[in-house]
Structure 1
Amino acid sequence: MTKYNTNNPVGSPSLKDINDNAITLDNLVNSTDITTKDRLGNDRLTIKGLEEAAISAGPTVEAAVKALEQANLARQAAEGVQSELDSTVNEAKNAAELSHEYADKAEESKIAAENAKNSAMISGGLYRTEDEGRLAVADGVNFRVQGADKVAVYEYRRISATQSELLAIYPSKRYIDEIASNMPIPLDLTPSPDVPIIMDKEEKVILSADESGKIKALSGLFSDDIDVGESSNIADNPFSNLMYALVDKNEKLAFGIDESGAVIASALKSQSVNIDDTSIYNDAFSGLAYAIVDGEDNVIYGVTINGEVVGAAINKDPTNRDKETSNNHAVSLNHFIMNGQSLSVRSGTALPLQDSNDKTFSGGLFLKQDQLNNTLVQAKYDNTSAVIWNAIQQMKFLMSGGMDYSKDPTYRDDYQTLASSHGNSGARIESLSKGGSTGSYEGAIHAVSEGYRLAELANESYSVQAFNWIQGEANRDDTADAYIAKFNAMMSDYKTDIDAITKQGYQFPILVYQPSGNQYYAPVGSESPNTIADAFYRLAESDSNITVTTPTYWIEHADALHPTNKGSLQFGMQWGKVLYKKVYRGEDWRPLEPISIEQLGTKTVIARFHVPEPPLVFDETLVTNPGNYGFDLRDDSGVLQITSIKLLNNNSVELRVNRDLAPNVFLSYAYYGVGGNGGGPLTGARGNLRDSDQTVGLDSTVKLYNWALAFNKKLPYTNPKGVK
């Protein structure tokens, strides 16, 4: 049997690692050698080795040591039960029985064995408490602590004299027995070349797979719990040319196998499955009793331990929906305003209209102050303002359950939108504000007045649902404080003038972004801090009504400042996802941002993040690595050399440096750019940190991950909003 030696960490669900574990287990039990190497290359005593060691250790030590070793073998075998039923189960049973046998021997000489056991624990690196173990070993060395109840052993690694990291928890035999007794499908320990996939309540196999991977269907199955819908892939007779079938109560086909052996599945999204580089499930085998996977362990088709059918071939909407809050203020006509500079009005690839009831003005999406006597017409894309257009379509897609994904349970097909856009290319915030030279401010207020007037004529309610702002590059010479002051003054005018028209009585959400191309205008090769990105982050920190939808360093760029057609889709769809969460559902959605940053010891900094959809990922495929994944550490002595960076606990980043930290430490991310370089994933001020959001996009080629905001924070830092 081939051994792959992947060196993946402990707990890996890879089939290759499960294969290597099976080989190791076989050697432990049956080899005549004294030792064998485990999957990570460590030497382990075989049972033969234990027997020889026991000759000199005496029967008391033999009983204690063998009981511990056999319990560990039972644990290792049990971990392989679900994916290697045809071989690993019997070894688990034998190992568990041996564990009982040797434990009984130990009980017979309990008093004498107690002292021997304590001696064996100390010499074998097993300690009574975490503190005792940490004090007994050097930094970087692993040690084990005796567990209790469901836990046999805890394994730690010492970080310092006061800190250790929990690496693994080994379950006790009692816990293994409890899991086995509670499995939804009792284990059949009789050797069989086939693996069951679907069984009925009497444990008769309906669908199985043999050692070659060939699927066998042994009988038909009727169920009242399946509803395929109004149509079937089998036109007239659902059982024509079918040898086996899974049907609903109306005999509509859900899953069948024809005479040629081909699988026909009306309940699946596609008759042929093509999996990209990711699966619906980050951990491919998380909670799965059975799975059909591709060569990279992506789940094509699986059954959870609760009986749910899952996989990349199934129309399962992975969009998480938190409970909506009082921030949801839906009315009959819901107005979304966009303003800013070129990115706010730039054309690009447009998504198809999702709701024919959505509206815009007869004067167009890009409405100006002198366009009077408007009427409401069906929304249409007029080759401008691609971001807000695509954002509205993505929001509606997530509401309505487009492409057969799950419809939002709160959606009633009556959320009518009105969109307008008022930006000017290359404009500074001063010229876009009230009384500015562009007239953009006055155009937006005119649109509010027109929207309110037309809703009143139709005897409908109206409100401004969100104000969207995409501007900043033109003010690249401003300090963050200066830009913040200008933005707050502008928004104060908007709030006053809009409320005077609508009397809506609540504050509309304000959505902003972070630019990544400011360094383009700096001297070539110089260091250029992204002060405008920092300004937007600080605005959102101080005002709970402001949300940063996304940084732009991950968005595909056509030039130094502007997105490609695909970039327009990326930008708009991400914006629409946030509109859906923050505005339509009223969720307290937050971006991927720091919760706290603190110094640990003299050379370590740990940053903990709010992660919308864990776990954190360093992605060097969609964004190139600018060095240190975009992180930068500085103190009074200058820039520090980062010697290591790693992810911790799905929500934290640990950074180690080459010298002791001096006073006034600053940690930044995606903040410093190189003068003359454009923005985007290849050359901009950027980083590689993202979450694992699997929200479905209307354009399925776009991954709607949440990328970490750019920041520059002095230590210690705590998010002022108390974000968790």
Structure 2
Amino acid sequence: MTTSHPPVPEYDLEHFIATGQSLAIGAQGAPALATPLQRTLMYDTGIRALGKQPQALVDAFEAEVETCLSGFAHWLGRLRPVSRPAHRTIVSAVGVGGEEIANLQRDTPPYRDIVEQVRWARAEAQRRGLTYRVSALALMQGEADALLGTGLVGYRAQVALLQRTLEADLQAVTGVTRPIPMFLYQTASHGRYAGTALHPSVEIPLAHWQEARDNPNLHLVAPMYPFPYADGLHLTNHGYRWYGHYLAKSIAHWLTTGEKWRPLEPTRARQRDSVRVGVDFHVPVPPLRFDTSLVRQLDDGMNGFELYDQTGRVPISHTRIVDGTQVELVAARALSGAVTVGYGLTPVNQMNCDDTGRFLAWNAGPASGVRGTLCDSDRSASDLSDMHGNRYALANYCVIFRLPCD
């Protein structure tokens, strides 16, 4: 679903808030990087704001760990020039490690922190004679629900509820009634968790994609498999800063055009004959390409694609890009009954599951986790560099998906 609004007008103070689990607060992202920031503020208690009461707004900087918000603010400043002399970006992160989404909803401590801190920020803006609004929310959550076996439908409802209630409560506090969209990442760590027999862990990344696809107030920024991980579950400091650039790209698109951000995602799958299936894609920057320079090819050589028919998983003999916006899959045998295409669904080399439902030896990431090599042709790159001195590349990688064929 695509919904357009007029471009968002500038305010003197524009607030961007991250919430969710440990990735929302940069867990394992040490040491903090010296990310250059201009015209960016934080509470005097720091970017990580859970359980804190601000007393002032100060120039933003990271302490101890790198969150995604510095990379976000840095890149947003380059993608979205502003004309108001007083304009500043405010960033804050309110996340709780290991928390399921039901415990982030209205009347929970993290939710109350967000609302009360925004109430304080609005009062501070009024004291200074400045305009203020919350421009967007970022949700970095899902791992706890993958472990618990939260179902796809129920998780989608919880994400939509969190956006809807936060929007209503923050609009009431600020007096600004423009939409406050929520920008999601798509977890790629479901291989770490078993989930349940009824609701396997893969339902969470599928829920991220499906709810963002169908809900005009939710935007899916990117899948997480291309980013470097510190421990197979949390990102490195560079991983957080890199993801912040993608968050900035999607939010800047919304702010400057009023249009919903759409990642590289499938739009339709069709069975063409007894062995061939074609998948059409929304491609942010055509043409499609397979690229193994960042994401390692999988052992089967099929770029992350999977095929299923009424008998189960079907081996694929060939994948190829057609006309820049389609991928053709050729099955190694004749397909039977209803056919489904998957991408990035099945973890390999999980080893043993412990008694808590975790595969502790399994690691997410571009070389070992669930992943795929399909991306678009966005050749833009950051002015900042990773730990190897390479500029962060900003191609859009395909979402994890499961899609039935027509």
Change (3 A) 1:378 1:519: same
Preserved CA contact (<8 Å) 1:386 1:568: yes
Query: Could you tell me which of 686, 689, 707 is aligned with 2:397?
Result: 707
Compute the displacement of 1:691 (Å).
Answer: 0.8
Query: Could you tell me which of 145, 152, 159 is aligned with 1:475?
Result: 145
1:522 and 2:194 correspond: yes
1:350 and 2:22 correspond: no
Change (3 A) 1:712 1:692: same
Change (3 A) 1:334 1:699: same
CA distance in 2, matches of 1:411, 1:594: 37
Preserved CA contact (<8 Å) 2:66 2:240: no
After superposition, give the CA deviation of every residue in 1:188-241 in whole Å (9 maximum; x if it has no partner).
Answer: xxxxxxxxxxxxxxxxxxxxxxxxxxxxxxxxxxxxxxxxxxxxxxxxxxxxxx
Preserved CA contact (<8 Å) 1:333 1:418: yes
Query: Could you tell me which of 353, 366, 379 is aligned with 2:48?
Result: 366
1:561 and 2:233 correspond: yes
How many pairs are equivalent? Answer: 377
Q: Which amino acid aligns with 2:79?
A: L
Compute the displacement of 1:445 (Å).
Answer: 0.8
After superposition, give the CA deviation of every residue in 1:309-346 in whole Å (9 maximum; x if it has no partner).
Answer: xxxxxxxxxxxxxxx96142321110101101111101
Q: Which amino acid aligns with 2:400?
A: A
For the residue of structure 2 that corresponds to 1:553, the secondary structure is coil
CA distance in 1, matches of 2:150, 2:333: 34
Preserved CA contact (<8 Å) 2:222 2:263: yes
For 2:373, the equivalent position in structure 1 comes to: 688
For 1:375, the equivalent position in structure 2 comes to: 56
1:399-478 matches, within 5 Å, as 399=80, 408=81, 415-436=87-108, 439-476=109-146, 477-478=149-150
Preserved CA contact (<8 Å) 1:550 1:591: yes
Report 1 or 2 for greater relative contact order, CA contacts < 8 Å, sequence distance ≥ 6: 2
Compute the displacement of 1:658 (Å).
Answer: 2.8
Change (3 A) 1:325 1:498: closer
Preserved CA contact (<8 Å) 1:591 1:708: yes
Query: Could you tell me which of 339, 355, 360 is aligned with 1:665?
Result: 339
For 1:396, the equivalent position in structure 2 comes to: 77
The TM-score normalised by the length of structure 2 is: 0.87
Compute the displacement of 1:385 (Å).
Answer: 5.4
For 1:698, the equivalent position in structure 2 comes to: 383
Compute the displacement of 1:604 (Å).
Answer: 1.2
1:334 and 2:14 correspond: yes
Compute the displacement of 1:493 (Å).
Answer: 2.1
Preserved CA contact (<8 Å) 1:330 1:584: no
CA distance in 2, matches of 1:413, 1:396: 14
1:499-514 matches, within 5 Å, as 499-514=171-186
Question: Which segment is superposed worse, 377-386 or 699-708?
Answer: 377-386
Give the % identical residues. Answer: 28
The TM-score normalised by the length of structure 1 is: 0.50
For 2:67, the equivalent position in structure 1 comes to: 386
Question: Which segment is superposed worse, 665-674 or 706-715?
Answer: 665-674
Compute the displacement of 1:497 (Å).
Answer: 1.2
CA distance in 2, matches of 1:492, 1:702: 33
Change (3 A) 1:489 1:412: closer
Preserved CA contact (<8 Å) 1:335 1:463: yes
CA distance in 2, matches of 1:563, 1:425: 14
Q: Which amino acid aligns with 2:129?
A: N
Compute the displacement of 1:668 (Å).
Answer: 0.7
- Ranges of 4+ aligned residues in structure 1 off by more than 4 Å: 410-414
Preserved CA contact (<8 Å) 1:344 1:385: no
Q: Which amino acid aligns with 1:429?
A: I
For the residue of structure 2 that corresponds to 1:422, the secondary structure is strand
Q: Which amino acid aligns with 1:335?
A: H
For 1:542, the equivalent position in structure 2 comes to: 214
Change (3 A) 1:368 1:560: closer
For the residue of structure 2 that corresponds to 1:697, the secondary structure is strand
Query: Could you tell me which of 155, 167, 180 is aligned with 1:495?
Result: 167
Unaligned runs of 5+ in 1: 1-323, 400-407, 717-724
Compute the displacement of 1:712 (Å).
Answer: 0.6
Preserved CA contact (<8 Å) 1:610 1:651: yes
Change (3 A) 1:579 1:414: farther
CA distance in 2, matches of 1:596, 1:327: 30
What root-mean-square deviation, in Å, do the aligned CA atoms of Structure 1 and Structure 2 show?
2.2
Preserved CA contact (<8 Å) 1:329 1:465: no
